[in-house]
Amino acid sequence: MRHVFCRKIVFLLAALLVVCGMSARKPIKTLLITGQNNHNWQVSHVVLKQILENSGRFSVDFAVSPEAGKDMSGFVLDFSPYELVVLDYNGDAWPEETNRRFLEYVQGGGGVVIYHAADNAFVNWPEYNKICALGGWENRDEKAGPYVYWSDGKLIKDSSAGVGGSHGKQHEYVLNARNHEHPIMKGLPNKWKHAQDELYDRMRGPGNIKACLYTAYSDKETGGSGREEPLIFTVDYGNARIFHTMLGHAGETVENCPAMQCAGFQITLLRGAEWAATGKVTQKVPADFPTEKQVSNRSNYKR
């Protein structure tokens, strides 16, 4: 009888471990908002989904807006089923109900990824600009907030007058780590070379950066600002976990998309997305992460 009881205990413990393991492996339910952009969203949203789902860590649903200039009143989204929202959108204003629900989600501690030109959106929506911390274009100027750049080991807020948002010609450039303790950064190199991409500079906004993770030098020789620009960071916005990456300009096709095919872009995105959704990063840094001298490509968007 005692042996039967012990076997039952062992069986129950084993079953519990299996259930816990299945729970741990359950993909992070993700909503990716797209449909309008001054960038090639027809490529970017497909690539983002591939990167996220190929990792085995995420399950992605799309919310595709009406075309620019069309009736947006029916674009009312339900954020409640999702652990993560990825923004690949820069276009017409959302309905007020969607705005309200989005703020409720974020202010309730929801996970958010701001991807590339999503930080151009909604110049007249103050809370959205706080969620991004920095933005550009769309007639932004000093009224949007200060320039923010890295100098002498810290972020500088510069309230000088001038346009918000620019970039020089696309080129390869080196990312410089500014925080080694954040979970996203554990194990990542101090410097790594990114594939050909835009390098956003002269970005402006509330400037509420929580952890500056990587910067890059915007060289005047390539049409840049001559400053060290924050390109990957987290945002200080209540209980929300917000990961903002300015990398990843979409190419002409899924197959020809160098900035998004960069292993460094993909890995930092995956780590930032997992952290935004869960507060942790469980992914190991893979062997194909770029070095300071060498770009590393994942043309099929997986390891």
- Are 228 and 149 in contact, with CB atoms under 8 Å apart? yes
Q: Among candidates 215, 269, 256, which has minimal Cα distance to 88?
A: 269
For the segment 79-130, what is each residue's pLDDT rounded down to a tens digit? Answer: 999 999 999 999 999 999 999 999 999 999 999 999 999 999 999 999 999 9
Q: Residue 24's pLDDT band (boundaries 50, 70, 90)? A: low
Beta strands in 178-251 (DSSP E): 191-197, 209-217, 228-235, 241-245
Tokens of 179: 């925080």
Burial 140-176 (b: 16+ CB within 10 A, else e): beeebbbbbbbeeeebeeeeeeeebbbbbebbebbbb
Q: Residue 12's pLDDT band (boundaries 50, 70, 90)? A: very low
What is the Cα–Cα distance from 197 to 116, expressed in whole angstroms? Answer: 11
- What CATH class has 2-278? alpha beta
Cα angle for residues 59, 275, 295 (degrees, 5° grid): 85
For the segment 38-66, what is each residue's pLDDT rounded down to a tens digit? Answer: 999 999 999 999 999 999 999 999 999 99
Domain boundaries, the chain: 2-278
- The pLDDT, as a whole number, for residue 14 is 44
What is the Cα–Cα distance from 25 to 44, expressed in whole angstroms? Answer: 26
Kindly report the pTM of this predicted structure: 0.92
